[in-house]
Amino acid sequence: MSGAVITLSAVSKSFHRAGHKITALDSIDLTLQPGRVTGLIGPDGAGKTTLMRLVAGLLLPDKGAIRVLGIDALARPLEVQSSIGYMPQRFGLYEDLSVQENLELYADLQGVPVAQRAARFQKLMQMTSLSPFTRRLAGKLSGGMKQKLGLACTLVRSPRLLLLDEPTVGVDPLSRRELWQIVYRQVQEVGMGVLLSTAYLDEAERCDEVILMHQGKLLGQGTPAEFSRPVSGRIFQASAAGCSHRRLQEQLSRAPGVLDALIEGEAVRLVMETPGKPEPEALLPEQQNLQLTAVEPRFEDAFIARLKRPRDLGSMTLSLRKKVTANTDDEVIRVHNLQRRFGDFIAVNDISFSVRRGEIFGLLGANGAGKSTTFRMLCGLLPASSGELAVAGHDLRQAAASARGRIGYMAQKFSLYTSLSVIQNLRFFSSVYGLRGRQQKARLEWALTTFELEPFRDANAGDLPLGYKQRLSFAAALMHEPEILFLDEPTSGVDPLARREFWTRTNALAEAGVTVLVTTHFMEEANYCDRLVIMAEGEVLIEGTPLTMKASARTAENPDPTMEDAFIQLIEQRQAQQATA
Amino acid sequence: MRLLGMIHKESLQILRDPSSISIAFVLPVVLLFLFGYGVSLDAKLIPVGIVIEQPDTATQSLAGAFERSEFFQPYHFDSIQTAQQMLNERHIDGILWMRSNFSSNLLAGEEAPIGVIINGVDSNQANITQGYIQGTWLAWLSRYAESRGHSLPMPVSLEQRVWFNAALSSRLFLVPGLIAIIMTMIGSLLTALVVAREWERGTMEALMVTPLRIGELLAGKLIPYFALGMTGMLFSVALAVWQFEVPLRGSLWLLMVSSALFMLVALAIGMLISIVAKNQFVAGQLAIIVTFLPAFILSGFLFDINSMPEWVQLITHLVPARYFVAILQTLFLAGDVWPVVLSNMGALLIMLLFFFTLVWRKSHKHLE
């Protein structure tokens, strides 16, 4: 195995937290070749960051050997560190230093000769299109720019191996695309080896090679195509005239032979257990108009097929006692010329939209686009600077408690009491909404069964895995059976499997007539929404259905654009407008 | 190059961070002015009530002695009851009570006791007040006796001379002690905070994967903050000498050397705290409890160590500021008293070696 950039043999690592032993890595064997981008993919807690840190010599393994660029990483970590570049999840930029000063610091630390610096800096700044901002303080850059500067600092000495730990989390799609371009340029120009971890499954397809990890174990290594091969011929798009895509998805997910059913725009994407096109009648006997089209498998399909828990997700229906049966054309949420300023800074600039009953309505945008500010104003947590807003006919800031009782809110940072148990949390939240006695007991039972929290009944909320915290938080927001549900970044940091479960539940709620307003920075989640707005820099760029948005981005060279393509196109149009204005 | 890069970066951060500059320069000014002008441990113009039940020449003369004294601010009351009322309401700190038989007893050569009631809530203040009342009384008594032609039988005649701080001005010993407090703040609190901040913002992880050696990392932190601390120290000395007119009787170079020694101890403790506490809140709390409060209370800067209980005195030996305060007070007020300065510097040196070994052994380039 000469020339391998990373070799791990039987590496194990565990941590002790509050008396528990957590196995982060379980006997991992791994070889990485130079000159290609390897994606490290896995849900949260899979051990991705631990693996990165071990390779960077920041942690010592309990067992096993690690060689990086032919150097024993355990015996000579300093030597490893002089020849690799590592960008941690939150890259260490000094926010009170300027772009130039950050670069100089890392050039000093990495021992870049002074004579070479000017040329190298210029090249890096050009590559990251940060040249106009070299004198700006790093703290004053946008999220995407910070990430690019972080990458530039890591590349200041052109390392032979580049480790990137979730470099694209929370970064807007445009910067994300630029980051990928920079990485690939390094690979092509200097033959750098790149190991990159990510929680975005669509990024797996951009890698030359993928390593799939789950719960500290290595599940496989290969090209994205190799991963998708087992599911080829098993992926179909289903639609049925006269049947809502949600009901169809619900029915299909319970149909025989269906491994997974996922809403995609107006259609449903199916992953079958075996290859071959199924007969529509066999799948759904009562459904006459079912149309099935075979589609190309994606990495995500393979991921789901591989990791999906043997439990039947389809049985998971949310039984809401009272179905909201009012007219579906009612405007439940109305926002008109809404503005919010913080000093000179305009966080939300003159936005308008309205949401109808029973809709899933999305606010899509990168971090800092003004989604959360809009949300807080709608929930009555923040006063608007100007403009009108009404939720179920009320401005929640002035509304009586009864009006508030009709909404449910799930905050971005799951606001649970970490030192209370699951049942105590649920009991508290239900009593806050005035539930007591037999009614409360019934709702508690409902929450524990529907969200499968029964096994964790007495566990402290703080000790739950992230996915379960999200479930509990969701359950707490639903205790009083709200008509309108506000979900602020509900899937942020949650692994893809838990994200699917979450959307299945949200779909069921919408089907029952609950209006859902949701923010997200995952572009592909826009497909779950009925309608959405895309926000950037506090403004609404476009309002519409996922289908119309994608259609508007359709070009000759890109006949089947993704939501992300649509988003990037919108941003670029806007930038062009700003340039001419 | 790596070390220079670290120092350069750290200096830029210090210059841009308003909190470092204010701890190094604004805080000394505030503390010096507060303690130099605001706090006084001297007893001056103590409000006392004087109750004379039967006025005559002797009582007038005694009351006059109190009127003239620079230590007292007498108020006259007609009855002991009203005086006590005033004492209870804390308008006055003590009562001088001359009963109706005062003069006759005095003339008879018998004891002519005056009643003295002192508010003992603040025991320190009460002691001082009592001492001054006693002194004034005895002085008046001897003068009174002399004026009548016979001397008062006194076995010992007391002649007091106060050395080093003849005016007994508390400012003269508070201000040098303050320098120790200020340096503790810069050395321990500021250093602990900035290192914790690096952990919090994730910059530490990025530093650790560079070829930077652990020694360079430590030195890169120590050197700029050492410079900052010494600048703050010189600034405080200048203020002390020129603004507060505290004499510097010892030599400046010795002051510099001992300050440098103390600065290093403070920095080492700051480093140690930042190794234990990786977020700014905990680091700040820890630094205040472990370094700042002991330096304030147990160093002898404000409270006399000799009047503390035995076991507390033992604890003060663990407080580095204690040794430095002793050096400072000696160098400023007495001069280069070698035995005092050397023994205290020796103690600081031992502490320095201890803490640095600890820092060295505890720092490593791992995240665990």
Please answer yes or no on whether B12 and A96 come within 8 Å at the CB atom: yes
B300-312 confidence digits (pLDDT tens): 888 888 878 889 8
Q: What is the DSSP letter of B331?
A: I
Mutation site, A105, A117, A135, interface B, largest B CB count within 10 A: A105
Higher pLDDT, A160 or B101: A160
Burial A117-153 (b: 16+ CB within 10 A, else e): eeebbeebbebbebeebbeebbeebeebbbbbbbbbb
CA atoms within 13 A on the CB side of A21: 7
Query: Does residue B6 form part of some domain?
Result: no
Query: Does residue B201 form part of some domain?
Result: yes
CA B354 from centroid of its chain's CA atoms: 26
CA trace torsion A163, A168, A171, A174 (10° rounding): 100
Which residues in chain B (16-75) have CB-CB distances under 8 A to chain A?
16-17
Query: Does residue B270 form part of some domain?
Result: yes
Same structural domain, B277 and B329? yes
Mutation site, A108, A153, A157, interface B, largest B CB count within 10 A: A108
Nearest residue of B to residue A94 by CA position? B203
Residue A346 — φ and ψ, nearest 5°? -100, 110
Q: For residue A107, give how far its alpha carbon lies from the nearest alpha carbon of chain B (Å).
A: 8
**What's the CA gap between B168 and B265, in Å, rounded?**
32
Give the confidence band of B157 by pLDDT, cuts at 50, 70, 90.
Answer: very low
Nearest residue of A to residue B13 by CA position? A96
Same structural domain, B303 and B194? yes
Q: For residue B272, give how far its alpha carbon lies from the nearest alpha carbon of chain A (Å).
A: 20
CA nearest neighbour of A321 among A518, A478, A465: A478
Of the partner residues B13, B205, B207, the one whose CB lies closest to the CB of residue A97: B13
Give the confidence band of A121 by pLDDT, cuts at 50, 70, 90.
Answer: very high
Query: Does residue B154 form part of some domain?
Result: no
Residues A194, A158 contacting (CB under 8 angstroms): no
- Length of chain B counted residue by residue: 368
Average confidence (pLDDT) over B220-245: 90
pLDDT of A544 over the 50 cut: yes
Domain extent at residue B116: 46-147
What number does CATH give the domain A6-222? 3.40.50.300
Nearest residue of A to residue B17 by CA position? A96
Residues A187, A194 contacting (CB under 8 angstroms): yes
Please answer yes or no on whether A92 and B211 come within 8 Å at the CB atom: no
**What's the CA gap between A508 and B224, in Å, rounded?**
61
Residues A91, B202 contacting (CB under 8 angstroms): yes
Q: Answer whether A6-222 and A228-315 agree in fold.
A: no
Residue B329, helix vs strand vs coil: helix
**What's the CA gap between B41 and A363, in Å, rounded?**
65
What is the pLDDT at residue B270? 92
ipTM of the complex: 0.72
Contacts of B302 (CB under 8 A, 6+ apart): B174, B177, B296
Q: What angle do CA B68, B71, B76 make, to 5 degrees?
A: 60
* Ramachandran bin of A34, using left for φ above 0, alpha for ψ from -120 to 50, beta for the remaining angles: beta
Which residues in chain B (324-363) have CB-CB distances under 8 A to chain A?
none
**What's the CA gap between B116 and A532, in Å, rounded?**
86
Query: Does residue B4 form part of some domain?
Result: no
Please answer yes or no on whether A96 and B6 come within 8 Å at the CB atom: no
**Neighboring chain B residues of A95 at a CB cutoff of 8 Å:** 201
**Neighboring chain A residues of B205 at a CB cutoff of 8 Å:** 58, 88, 90, 92
Kindly list the distances between the CA atom of residue B184 and the CA atoms of B171, B224, B345, in Å, as whole numbers in the listed order: 20, 15, 16
Higher pLDDT, A54 or A199: A54
Same structural domain, B234 and B311? yes
Please answer yes or no on whether A96 and B368 come within 8 Å at the CB atom: no
Query: Does residue B317 form part of some domain?
Result: yes
pLDDT of B351 over the 90 cut: yes
Q: For residue A62, give how far its alpha carbon lies from the nearest alpha carbon of chain B (Å).
A: 12
CB count, 10 Å around CB of A166? Answer: 20
**What's the CA gap between A207 and A180, in Å, rounded?**
10
Same structural domain, B142 and B181? no
A387, burial (CB in 10 Å: exposed 0-12, middle 13-18, buried 19+): middle
**What's the CA gap between A497 and A468, in Å, rounded?**
12
Same structural domain, B358 and B218? yes
Nearest residue of A to residue B6 by CA position? A105
Of the partner residues A53, A87, A96, the one whose CB lies closest to the CB of residue B367: A53
Same structural domain, B246 and B143? no
A328-376 confidence digits (pLDDT tens): 567 888 899 999 988 888 889 889 999 988 889 999 887 778 888 888 8
Q: What is the DSSP letter of B114?
A: P
Q: Among A48-57, A487-496, B284-293, name the one with the lowest average pLDDT.
A: A487-496
Give the confidence band of A315 by pLDDT, cuts at 50, 70, 90.
Answer: very low
Domain boundary among B95, B116, B147: B147
What is the pLDDT at residue B40? 63
Same structural domain, B211 and B134? no
Query: Does residue B161 form part of some domain?
Result: no
CB count, 10 Å around CB of A463? Answer: 16
What number does CATH give the domain A228-315? 3.30.70
What is the pLDDT at residue B227? 92
pLDDT of A324 over the 60 cut: no
Residue A559, helix vs strand vs coil: coil
Kindly list the distances between the CA atom of residue B217 and the CA atoms of A76, A82, B4, B188, B196, in Å, as whole numbers in the listed order: 18, 15, 11, 17, 14
Average confidence (pLDDT) over A388-401: 77
Same structural domain, B93 and B72? yes
A398-453 confidence digits (pLDDT tens): 776 677 788 888 887 777 888 888 999 999 988 988 888 888 998 899 888 888 88
What is the pLDDT at residue A22? 78
CA nearest neighbour of A158 among A127, A132, A197, A199: A127
Give the confidence band of B168 by pLDDT, cuts at 50, 70, 90.
Answer: low
Residue A157, helix vs strand vs coil: coil
Query: What is the count of structural domains for chain B?
Result: 2
Give the confidence band of B262 by pLDDT, cuts at 50, 70, 90.
Answer: very high
Residues of A with CB under 8 A from a CB of B: 53, 56-60, 77-78, 81-82, 84, 86-97, 101, 104-111, 153
Same structural domain, B123 and B263? no
Q: What is the DSSP letter of A297?
A: -
Kindly list the distances between the CA atom of residue A87 and the CA atoms of A40, A109, A152, A196, B368, in Å, as whole numbers in the listed order: 14, 15, 10, 10, 18
Domain boundary among B85, B115, B147: B147
Higher pLDDT, A22 or A581: A22
What is the pLDDT at residue B155? 44
Residue A283 — φ and ψ, nearest 5°? -75, -55
CB count, 10 Å around CB of B327? Answer: 29
What is the pLDDT at residue A281? 79
Of the partner residues B1, B12, B213, the one whose CB lies closest to the CB of residue A78: B213
Q: Among A196-210, A304-318, B54-68, B208-222, name the one with the lowest average pLDDT.
A: A304-318
**Neighboring chain B residues of A58 at a CB cutoff of 8 Å:** 205, 208-209, 365-367
CA A349 from centroid of its chain's CA atoms: 26
Kindly list the distances between the CA atom of residue A298 and the CA atoms of A203, A205, A222, A301, A547, in Å, as whole numbers in the listed order: 11, 8, 14, 5, 19
Return the domain boundaries, chain A: 6-222, 228-315
Same structural domain, B179 and B328? yes
* Ramachandran bin of A320, using left for φ above 0, alpha for ψ from -120 to 50, beta for the remaining angles: beta
Q: For residue B359, give how far its alpha carbon lies from the nearest alpha carbon of chain A (Å).
A: 19
CA nearest neighbour of B142 among B151, B130, B132, B131: B151
Residues B209, A58 contacting (CB under 8 angstroms): yes
Same structural domain, B18 and B121? no
Contacts of B57 (CB under 8 A, 6+ apart): B103
pLDDT of A316 over the 60 cut: no
A81-99 confidence digits (pLDDT tens): 888 999 988 777 888 899 9
Q: Among A57-66, A167-176, A329-338, name the one with the lowest average pLDDT.
A: A167-176
CA nearest neighbour of A102 among A137, A72, A68: A137
**What's the CA gap between B198 and B202, in Å, rounded?**
6
Residue A128 — φ and ψ, nearest 5°? -95, 5
B202 touches chain A (CB under 8 A): yes
Same structural domain, B283 and B347? yes
What is the pLDDT at residue A162? 92
CA B15 from centroid of its chain's CA atoms: 30
Mean confidence (pLDDT) of chain A: 84
- Beta-strand relationship, A209-214 and A217-222: antiparallel
Alpha carbon distance, N-terminus to C-terminus of chain A: 57
Residue B43, helix vs strand vs coil: coil
Give the confidence band of B66 by pLDDT, cuts at 50, 70, 90.
Answer: confident
Domain boundary among B147, B178, B208: B147
Give the confidence band of A322 by pLDDT, cuts at 50, 70, 90.
Answer: very low
**What's the CA gap between B93 and B130, in Å, rounded?**
10
CB count, 10 Å around CB of A232? Answer: 14
Query: Does residue B143 form part of some domain?
Result: yes
**Neighboring chain B residues of A77 at a CB cutoff of 8 Å:** 365
